Amino acid sequence: MQLTDEAKWFTEMFSELKDCNEEEQKQKIKEMNENVDGMNKEKFRSIFTKELFNKIDEMIEVKKLTMGNVLLLMKHIGFINGTKICLLHSFKESSLNKRFEKMIVIENIKKEEKNENFLANLCKFYLLLNDGIISTEMVSIIMPCLLKAASKKERNEETQKEVEIAFLALSHIDRYYFLRQELYLKEIKEIIQNHQEHYNLSRIGYQSAWKFLINRLFCDEDLERLIVNERHFVTEAAKELEELSKCVDWKKKKEEMSREEMKEANISKRWIRTLGFFIESCTLWNDEFIELIRSIIQVLRAAKENHGEISELCIYFLRSAAENRVVKIEDLLESEAVDAVLEEVTQLHVVNEQTSDYLHFFKILCERLNSKREIESDEAKINELKRKAHEKLEEEGYEDCIIGLRCCMNEVEFSSYFLVENIDDYFIYC
């Protein structure tokens, strides 16, 4: 792989560290960290390879790199990896990963001489760089340590940054881990409630606290009542998305955005991805959800031209909402979800994965409008909804669009990988 100019610069700076004293190393690492901030995922991955992490391990072994400076570098790498979701598999495969795993275990079993801050810092980047896929033993050590770090209430900038990184790391504990509520719920509930009253967390810290909790919902359905009814997750998420959208000019392309705008856009993406996890398993529904769907649609419409990854997450959320039977058909109509997806469908000219998500929305809507289960609940209401849906689809030329895509499918090999073989299934017969 040919190195980019940024990768060459970083590699040269890194090679100079072995000949520097501790203070000189610290200054160089700060400069390196600043340079990493603006990198995209591809450049980031091209630098932080298994070979680089192994070199860091070797430099620690021969005492050419102080542990304080290692933490300064690694914590920042972990933060960038966690916020951009770069998926650095290279760290997990490195000797440095094994070294830090041993250090965490050893530091944790200490008694009076245990250094809580040092242990917390080790846990933060270890979890962030392993993408939350770690052993159950490591989870049992890391989670209480980071919950304690995240519970600090000091308002100074340094402490708040440490709280933010602690929550970011916690939010990466994989959602397939079952964690007993007594291990985390009291602390997380208090932290979220405290923020709702005093606004003491950063945007990404607050989002990460919720993501940690939503991840637990996957294996613990009992949490949902607290999440939805007591702490009003849906209202909070809609409010955060609205506030974030005010800070981002979605008409700009990524490369035109300021660093602050990119940060806010990435937090929006994290919220929508978390909401996607939530809507897949949601069993409680109330009027608050309509405003949430409207917030998602607002982001979809604003981001679709220049931010394809975010618009794809939005449409996937809407598809998941349509699939979830607790979301009423009238809510999809009232929230303008149908209008928003129609806007996109009538502009489609190619068959790809995003086309599939748009059309599956209507396939699901069709199935539900003709479902015995839906009709038996209130036949008159369903007939009225059918009429409204049909009028809306007819007005926007949905049928002409499907016929056009049928021609497109005949020209594109393997297009049926994205769509069902019989495209007539995407017509809506009301």
Domain ranges for the chain, please list them: 1-131
- Cβ(227)–Cβ(272) under 8 Å? no
Q: Minimum mean pLDDT among 51-60, 112-121, 185-194, 402-411: which range?
A: 402-411
pLDDT at residue number 141: 94
Nearest of 68, 70, 80, 102 to residue 34 by alpha carbon: 80
Query: Which pLDDT band, with edges at 50, 70 and 90, does 430 fall under?
Result: low
pLDDT at residue number 288: 82
Greater pLDDT, 45 or 71: 71
Whole-model pTM: value is 0.88
Q: Minimum mean pLDDT among 76-85, 135-144, 163-172: which range?
A: 76-85
Q: Does the pLDDT at position 181 exceed 60?
A: yes
- What sign does the dihedral 148-151-156-158 (CA atoms) show? positive
Greater pLDDT, 288 or 164: 164
Rounded Cα gap, residues 240 and 206, in angstroms:
10
pLDDT at residue number 140: 92
100-125 pLDDT, tens digit each: 999 999 999 998 788 999 999 999 99
Q: Does the pLDDT at position 378 exceed 90?
A: no
pLDDT at residue number 426: 75
Residues of the chain with pLDDT > 90, as a percent, come to 47
Query: Which pLDDT band, with edges at 50, 70 and 90, does 415 fall under?
Result: very low
| Close Cβ partners of 403 (under 8 Å, ≥ 6 residues apart) | none
pLDDT at residue number 414: 43
Query: Which pLDDT band, with edges at 50, 70 and 90, does 219 fall under?
Result: confident
pLDDT at residue number 376: 66
pLDDT at residue number 280: 87
pLDDT at residue number 408: 64
Q: Does the pLDDT at position 208 exceed 90?
A: yes
Mean pLDDT of the chain: 87
What is the rounded average pLDDT of the residues 38-51? 86
pLDDT at residue number 187: 93
232-281 pLDDT, tens digit each: 999 999 999 999 988 899 989 888 988 889 889 989 999 999 999 999 88
Query: Which pLDDT band, with edges at 50, 70 and 90, does 89 fall under?
Result: confident
pLDDT at residue number 255: 84
Q: What is the dihedral of CA 298, 300, 302, 305, to 10 degrees?
A: -170
**Could you tell me the two tokens for 215?**
């991840």
CB atoms within 10 A of CB 37: 13
Q: Does the pLDDT at position 150 exceed 60?
A: yes
CA distances from 87 to 226, 253, 396 (A): 31, 23, 41
